[in-house]
Amino acid sequence: MSFKLKIPEEHFSIMKDILNLDENQKKIIVTKFKIYKPLKYDEDIQAIEEFKDFPNIFELIITLFRLYQNLQEDHIVKDVDDFISEITNSFIEQIGSESYKDIDDKIQSMKQFFKDLLTADTPFFYFEKATKLLLERSKLVESTRIITDIRPVFKEEIIESPDYCLITHNLRILYNKNIRNEKKAYFALDHQDLIQLKLQIERALKKEEELHKLCQKAGLEIYEVKKSL
């Protein structure tokens, strides 16, 4: 199945820059992309030292990578060649009457460049998969806060200062449901609840530490995915 795509102006201008790259520059970009290890989903490509020579091109690559993955998952494109053909065909249509020397050779080179990037076995590919696994849950915690307060206990007739009080805790959890649909939930806690929660957190951290050791022994790299969506 094919799709119709209009390339945004900011991406269109970057594709024109790619059209004029020489083969050595393309090899450098592919090599750098293959070893790129992102730290968070919305990382600022402009600030990455390794990409300083071609920051806009790397931003476009990541945009195309995510677009391809989404279209493939939705069965809108059948494979990478189908996707690249549609992208480059749209690009050619938008070039219009602009004159380029050896345009056919340049387009073929661009297609191969995109294919080398989109089919590369990169850390970025696994990072994207890890991020999706993280997000594919019904409730994704964004932040937590425990609000502690004191509540006086008054007599039925408020004629004097209270003799008793309660110390109360409210656990506030801010979470997203179906991504970006922000929700809040509040949970009342007492002192014993806090102790139990602390013990469970300490236990979870110890289990995580042991799992880190197991992964290291197995030669598995652990992604520290930061939820910054």
d(CA 17, CA 108): 15
- pLDDT higher at 157 or 195: 195
pLDDT in tens, 207-224: 999 998 998 888 887 776
Residue 95: pLDDT over 80: yes
Better-predicted residue by pLDDT, 98 or 6 = 6
CA 211 to each of CA 8, 93, 147, 226, 228: distance values in angstroms, whole numbers, following the listed order: 44, 52, 32, 19, 24
Question: Edge-to-edge strands of the sheet including 140-153?
Answer: 140-153, 164-176, 182-189
> Predicted confidence band at 44 (pLDDT cuts at 50, 70, 90)?
confident
pLDDT digits (tens, 9 = 90+) for 54-90: 999 999 999 998 898 888 888 888 899 999 999 998 8
Res. 110 pLDDT band, cuts 50 70 90: very high
pLDDT at 108: 93
Return d(Cα 26, Cα 24) in angstroms, integer. Answer: 5
Q: Provide the pLDDT for residue 179.
A: 57
The domains of the chain are located at 9-135, 140-218
Element housing 140 (H / E)? strand 140-153
Query: Which contacts of 22-28 are long-range, i.e. CB under 8 A and separated by 24 or more positions?
Result: 23/109, 25/54, 26/109, 26/113, 26/116, 28/53
Asked if 64 and 90 touch (Cβ cutoff 8 Å), the reply is no
Mean pLDDT of 25-49: 87
* H/E element, 170: strand 164-176
Given a contact cutoff of 8 angstroms between Cβ atoms, the answer to whether 113 and 30 are in contact is yes
Task: Give pTM, 2 decimals.
Answer: 0.67
For helices 9-19 and 80-95, give the axis angle rounded to 10 degrees.
100
